[in-house]
Structure 1
């Protein structure tokens, strides 16, 4: 896969990178570096950063670096990573795209693994393709990852041998290269989007003299289609050199033995060609005045207004002083972003979201950025909010209570990192260690980080944060960008004019900048209103399930409490409330959309006594929180806490049940998001899939899928409140608690809160509302969407069965995994028809008899019909000829690895077992039988199910293809 950065250039990516942005006011009175020096002197931190003492690092004679970290979670597993300091930046013009292409070729034949055998080898070991075996290519690196299911000497040796083959044993056969070309082109197609095109346009405009925009990792189609083996070999031999490689091993193993195996495996690795000079990165264009950029994307669901400051990267080795210098800046950004968040809730807020970021990337550029997402009609007002709120902070600084809030959260995060350090997962650690070594950052322990930052956090002042923010956002040259579906000025012919648009943007910026900004209003503080709930409830039953170490408690008011104390994670306690009867009880006339609206507004509405922003301030420094979801047969409130905050967490959850806020700002925000969502539906496959197809798969049941936009937007808070409040106040309530706690303390805390509530109702059968059917006859549906994005979506569905019979459900799920692997082999590997085909079984645990297999492929539109036929043929072949023993094992072993991992996974116990252990006691037996039952599944059983469910005569098809949009003025949103 390609990756642009584990950070982001602009909000179009979910990565998080930050930029420098000043020039809105004069230079800061005191630079952040001086603040850092003062903090360092006052707190007397360690003279230098101290690496985590558990980490062992070394370097082989050939220059390869390695890092080893013993770690017990998951037990008996290891995470291996190979980092190659070579990415798309290192390509010649004739190699554009080959760094990423080469990453794919690592799976297509090497010294120890002939073509077509590596993925199957992984599967037989118990590793899933894409989950336990993966890789990515970015501008500056290629990184391979293996999550080994065992850590015995043979398995560890095998994993290292695979990495060694990636490093020095690729075959790069012509026929395999040719076979993979279609996969790469389809990955390029799958990743193409309005967001990607906007990113490319902005990237090139802001770094016109840099190499980065000229080396996007996916590369050029002409190179992907035509490059011969010699170009691959040249890149591989030149850049895959031992001195440009890092091996990371983290897991439940003996360090000495692992180090010996790394040495034995990688010492023989040698460079295969002379070293090549590093490419010239170009330069960052430094501006002396505002520069305007406009990019129109008619298919975008909204418009982003962005203020961006760029400057050349200044080399700054990781150090105590550097980390302390970043602290006030990060606190300042957190305070600024909270201001933006509060403004977005305003009645007349002209934007959806806004975010300030700052940082550096690729050791080439430093940046600061304000990104405001809005409706195209409101881009000028959004620009005003983004610019003026930043300037308000830069001119007037921050208030002590704002700082206290973010400091409390920072300190709590550091403390929780220390507590959880002994039970971190190896995959997380290996990625963090690889990142540290790649970036020449010292990998410090959570204990060191807390010791380093605790005193500075207590001493940092609002003035320190202001100085840091001013230094981050400094300079008179910056970019003002408008990107998305806002159509700005047009020329006399009615065509968009970049020059006129830039003048329009500049005028809007200057108008905003000319307005003075007042200091921020003083925020009111309030006391927590939900500390007392009356007389604690009485326990009337307390049952222990010894073999699974569960405890099932019942209170006099009908509240059920299920507990499992674990040592899987140090610190966290996971709490889930399953309450009421969910969407089954929604009024029929409101069923289209009411559940979605409730889910989108409940959390944002806060509580009756506290808004969401007030809650954030009151709860600062505490590990508490609640997320609300609307399920088919229950509502769920879930969150994570610690033993210190358990009572507060339960008070918060009880308040959510009895006094939800349903504030109008929640509806305003939800409707803005829905407007954008429905606009995206017009131009993407999501439209027909979530509106029409989801409904079609349930034979027209209005509870399935989203309704038309007007219907969705007509839903309101009063409807949601009238439906949900009674469900929360008196509906059946089952509480699940899993994690690091003392059981008696949990029982007492629940008694004081949820146990003190009025009597709860018993759950009803509601059988008449559980009737849903897949269409009786197969269907073929074709949809066209008006888009310039040249990709199609192919879906094939076969009716199957529900998940109420767990033995059948497990077998259908495993058959889905076999079908998925057949898709990989036939559609991806053999014909290169899709980058990431997927198949699986979807089974309801509420609606009797309801379930279906689905197969999904993103394809070249010209191949859509062919691939739909092929998918149906694959299913039919399984129906006629059955599942082989090898296919069964390759599907089963990764599942067994996952199942064994889940036995030490708090989330599994919370969601799959304890959330309804008293409502549905059979789930306890399901937990007992999982391992033995899945191990007992036979190829004959799966073959019989395939014969029943996957014949071609049962297949339904959906094909969604692009239609070139007509250039109609009516399709273009107006602006104000």
Structure 2
């Protein structure tokens, strides 16, 4: 089950997305109603809906109601995807509601409702029953707990009676049917401890230190959702029952139901399911989070941890927040700070790319938490941990914004992007998906913001912008921060770094005070230039134009050799996705330059174009729906992006410009070099480093899969990247695939003037098989990789080699994925449900279609270092049992049915058609045949086939046991 990240910045960003731009929470033609029922129930008071007290109208398609017991519900009929529904149960209670002896039980309870309820008393049968109906645990059923909410999510793959019956029974039991048996609590303790272990990190440790310092008299640092170990391990059943009965109450719940439904029938089903719930005589109340204001005066704090991967300096200010109902005025006020911070973010982005820059990045944020806390921060990340050089940048830009505000050109750029985002929301609204709508409605119910239509959101934005000026934005920023000389500034300066001297606090004050006296220049107003890549020559003729009717796919080739695949869809209104593939990718990388792909991936787009830097492009293209990302797959380079019908030609111009005139500007390599120390610190102190080493080892130490040493990475140059990639840009065949909402004449015209006008590209994109053949380690074997950490977190991994066939064996790939899913399910049952040894064990398969011999099934289970050997042996035994005796028909069916439902859903996804079917379908025609026969082939997969693969590959003799563990801790016996 997914849990929210307990880091303040992540939490803040999540809440800002829902509240500051305030989208969603409706009602004009659909009146709020109180449902009546003959069932005896406790009276309750339903909370008001946000739109009832707002001047912003709600979405008329959404029905709001409340039961006599105070429970609220939201219903929205939405036809996409067809024959599917999404349910959300929101409980207005989280870790802040806990007593001292309940710390962690809000989250623990979220687990427990899956472990025995009124309709499903046998906990071991609920998930299998879901699977038999096509509901995949994780993909369709999930939950999370935060400081102030708990949310249960269920996306049903069909609307058949049995599926809906189970969905309502499950949600009804979550709300008012958990048995909370002592035996189940005891068995689940290990899972929660394993989750706490897996989530432990230097980031969490720093968060705890900082929040205790910033808010010593608040509950925030004392109520992290994961809780305290002693409570998790020993809290008696009555403490669980106390929380459940006092906080899982109708008055604190909202049920959200969205999908291909009948409104009247849905409403009656909700009434029947939830009306019998009763409120307790003494319901729980949410306590105040305590003193959250920034102390008066200039505060300085230094936090150190040797495992930190980067050094950050920030200025923070917080104050109590007075909650206001969502309204046009509230959105107007939030808009000012949003724009101000967006401008500051652009300033930091430009500074980080300058020669002799002392920061790698910087950002400004402002958000409201829990209705009570308003908080803002401005921070920078120092190059090479040199905070003394980075601090002047932070102070100068903070003070510059406070003294001079912002320029009209900066304002115009940010506003253009903002308006465009809202306009696109209007255009894409007809094809919004039910699961997204359900989650958005839940978020708006939680934050008490109005779920208005995208059209209304745009109207409110335009109305607010009409009366907003750049001076208003500048004044709002100055008003919040109340800038003053250091001695009178109410703010907290925070340094987080690996190590610092005893005099660091004094030095921070001295440097800041010195900079406070440095004269600053006001920012200048700079207009964006014009995009200069609009003429690529005369178009060439179109050849071999065909329409593949059964897939509704079109293909043709320009006379210059550029190949085109396209499919028009109506799945996502006003959205177009594309990918251009060329060259040989990782397979053709120079073997004497390990890590060159990492440098290339970092600098290609960041290096801009010959005529425009990457920062210039951001300004020039502000408000337009264009962009390019560069990727390196095993056997190709890719340029991909998304756009709209209006910007289709500009998107193709931008993509073609990167193909013909990449800038490879020096600032891109400078930024890469500046990030290397942080990256390698992360590899040293986290499991990411050993995972990279494991990949290198399992590939037979092939240089293309080798992550270089820091010295090797620092020695790589832009010239080496150019020598590798430029010949591929100019010679190798380019194949572009485009899927989405466009008109054929416009698409063909734009392609003809861009890619169709390029010089000839005719070289084949191929690397001989002998250069793509890897030699994997002999098995059985065991291997240990370590990282430097005091966090007691390790990973047990078991690998099985699986590639013994020719390239591009799609049928085998599908069957291996089913086999790994069966192993995954057995790991969940044994390691999590029965033994409580792991929180999120999983198994997956990977069968390369490029490199010979490179195929594997991987089983992965994070947990305590003391248990890795035990867990590895259990996994190997589970696999060996599967190899010796095979899977059962029920296991097979429970894995296959949810998979078939996901396949059906994918047919209405642009990403499936683009990446799985069309991309390089002329180079590899078998991709079309694979798509044509996919569903039929999956339906033909037999249990005998899966068991034959298990018998062949999942044996103990074919396994490699890998342990990833902190080196400061003893390894297993």
TM over 0.5: yes
What is the alpha-carbon distance in structure 2 between the residues aligned to residue 459 and residue 724 of structure 1?
50
- Deviation, structure 1 residue 699: 1.2
Any residues of structure 2 matched to 1:916-935 within 5 Å, and which?
916-935=920-939
Q: Which residue of 2 aligns with 1:671?
A: 673
- Deviation, structure 1 residue 363: 1.2
Structure 2 residue 494 is the aligned partner of structure 1 residue 481: yes
Q: Which residue of 1 aligns with 2:767?
A: 766
- Deviation, structure 1 residue 364: 1.7
Conserved 8 A contact 2:576-2:738:
yes
Structure 2 residue 97 is the aligned partner of structure 1 residue 98: no
- Deviation, structure 1 residue 410: 0.8
What is the alpha-carbon distance in structure 1 between the residues aligned to residue 932 and residue 755 of structure 2?
29
- Deviation, structure 1 residue 932: 1.3
Q: 1:581 aligns with which of 581, 584, 587?
A: 584
For the residue of structure 1 that corresponds to 2:531, the secondary structure is coil
Q: 2:690 aligns with which of 688, 691, 695?
A: 688
For the residue of structure 1 that corresponds to 2:646, the secondary structure is coil
Q: Which residue of 2 aligns with 1:783?
A: 785
Q: Which residue of 1 aligns with 2:811?
A: 807
Conserved 8 A contact 1:157-1:261:
no
Q: Which residue of 1 aligns with 2:282?
A: 274
Structure 2 residue 212 is the aligned partner of structure 1 residue 204: yes
TM-score calculated relative to the size of structure 2: 0.93
What is the alpha-carbon distance in structure 2 between the residues aligned to residue 459 and residue 607 of structure 1?
37
Q: Which residue of 1 aligns with 2:9?
A: 10
Any residues of structure 2 matched to 1:328-477 within 5 Å, and which?
328-375=336-383, 377-474=385-482, 476-477=489-490
Any residues of structure 2 matched to 1:246-265 within 5 Å, and which?
246-265=254-273
- Deviation, structure 1 residue 679: 1.1
Any residues of structure 2 matched to 1:608-623 within 5 Å, and which?
608-623=610-625
Structure 2 residue 88 is the aligned partner of structure 1 residue 86: no
- Deviation, structure 1 residue 787: 1.1
Q: Which residue of 1 aligns with 2:517?
A: 514
Conserved 8 A contact 1:531-1:651:
yes
What is the alpha-carbon distance in structure 2 between the residues aligned to residue 965 and residue 300 of structure 1?
19
- Deviation, structure 1 residue 16: 6.9
For the residue of structure 2 that corresponds to 1:763, the secondary structure is coil
Q: 2:154 aligns with which of 146, 157, 172?
A: 146
Q: 1:890 aligns with which of 875, 880, 894?
A: 894
What is the alpha-carbon distance in structure 2 between the residues aligned to residue 285 and residue 636 of structure 1?
49
Any residues of structure 2 matched to 1:690-839 within 5 Å, and which?
690=692, 692-767=693-768, 768-801=770-803, 804-839=808-843
Structure 2 residue 86 is the aligned partner of structure 1 residue 76: no
- Deviation, structure 1 residue 313: 1.1
* Alpha-carbon displacement from aligned partner over 1:883-926 (angstroms, at most 9, x marks no partner): 11111111112211211111000001000111111111111111
Q: How many residues were matched structurally?
A: 927
- Deviation, structure 1 residue 118: 1.6
- Deviation, structure 1 residue 769: 1.9
What is the alpha-carbon distance in structure 2 between the residues aligned to residue 467 and residue 5 of structure 1?
33
For the residue of structure 2 that corresponds to 1:117, the secondary structure is helix
Q: Which residue of 2 aligns with 1:37?
A: none
- Deviation, structure 1 residue 276: 3.0
* Alpha-carbon displacement from aligned partner over 1:351-376 (angstroms, at most 9, x marks no partner): 11110001211112101101211246
For the residue of structure 2 that corresponds to 1:314, the secondary structure is coil
- Deviation, structure 1 residue 730: 2.4
Structure 2 residue 297 is the aligned partner of structure 1 residue 289: yes
Conserved 8 A contact 1:580-1:732:
yes
Q: 1:627 aligns with which of 626, 629, 642?
A: 629
What is the alpha-carbon distance in structure 2 between the residues aligned to residue 140 and residue 2 of structure 1?
16
Conserved 8 A contact 2:4-2:144:
no
Conserved 8 A contact 2:799-2:961:
yes
What is the alpha-carbon distance in structure 2 between the residues aligned to residue 796 and residue 10 of structure 1?
35
What is the alpha-carbon distance in structure 2 between the residues aligned to residue 911 and residue 4 of structure 1?
30
What is the alpha-carbon distance in structure 1 between the residues aligned to residue 967 and residue 511 of structure 2?
36
* Alpha-carbon displacement from aligned partner over 1:149-176 (angstroms, at most 9, x marks no partner): 0123442232121111001111111111
* Alpha-carbon displacement from aligned partner over 1:610-633 (angstroms, at most 9, x marks no partner): 000111111111100000011221
Conserved 8 A contact 2:301-2:493:
yes
Q: Which residue of 2 aligns with 1:862?
A: 866
Structure 2 residue 856 is the aligned partner of structure 1 residue 852: yes
* 4+ residue segments displaced more than 6 Å: 11-14
What is the alpha-carbon distance in structure 2 between the residues aligned to residue 965 and residue 252 of structure 1?
54
Structure 2 residue 967 is the aligned partner of structure 1 residue 958: no
- Deviation, structure 1 residue 132: 1.2
Conserved 8 A contact 2:779-2:957:
no
Conserved 8 A contact 1:12-1:196:
no
Conserved 8 A contact 1:2-1:138:
no
Conserved 8 A contact 1:17-1:357:
no
- Deviation, structure 1 residue 528: 1.4
For the residue of structure 2 that corresponds to 1:352, the secondary structure is strand
Q: 1:109 aligns with which of 113, 116, 138?
A: 116
Any residues of structure 2 matched to 1:10-89 within 5 Å, and which?
10=9, 15=14, 48-89=55-96
* Alpha-carbon displacement from aligned partner over 1:23-57 (angstroms, at most 9, x marks no partner): xxxxxxxxxxxxxxxxxxxxxxx981000111111
Q: 1:134 aligns with which of 126, 130, 142?
A: 142
For the residue of structure 1 that corresponds to 2:151, the secondary structure is strand
- Deviation, structure 1 residue 526: 2.4
- Deviation, structure 1 residue 292: 1.2
- Deviation, structure 1 residue 965: 8.2
For the residue of structure 2 that corresponds to 1:603, the secondary structure is coil
Q: Which residue of 2 aligns with 1:125?
A: 133
For the residue of structure 1 that corresponds to 2:366, the secondary structure is strand
What is the alpha-carbon distance in structure 1 between the residues aligned to residue 841 and residue 827 of structure 2?
6
Conserved 8 A contact 2:54-2:327:
no
TM-score calculated relative to the size of structure 1: 0.93
Q: 2:193 aligns with which of 156, 166, 185?
A: 185
Conserved 8 A contact 1:800-1:851:
yes
Structure 2 residue 925 is the aligned partner of structure 1 residue 915: no
User: More displaced, 802-811 or 344-353?
Assistant: 802-811
- Deviation, structure 1 residue 415: 0.6
What is the alpha-carbon distance in structure 2 between the residues aligned to residue 375 and residue 296 of structure 1?
17
Conserved 8 A contact 2:631-2:638:
yes
- Deviation, structure 1 residue 783: 2.7
What is the alpha-carbon distance in structure 1 between the residues aligned to residue 780 and residue 124 of structure 2?
35
- Deviation, structure 1 residue 252: 1.5
For the residue of structure 2 that corresponds to 1:306, the secondary structure is strand
Q: 2:884 aligns with which of 877, 880, 884?
A: 880
For the residue of structure 1 that corresponds to 2:359, the secondary structure is coil
- Deviation, structure 1 residue 4: 5.2
- Deviation, structure 1 residue 524: 5.7
CA root-mean-square deviation: 1.9
Structure 1, unpaired ranges of 5+? 19-45, 491-499, 967-976
- Deviation, structure 1 residue 845: 1.2
Distance 1:4 1:477, change over 3 A: farther
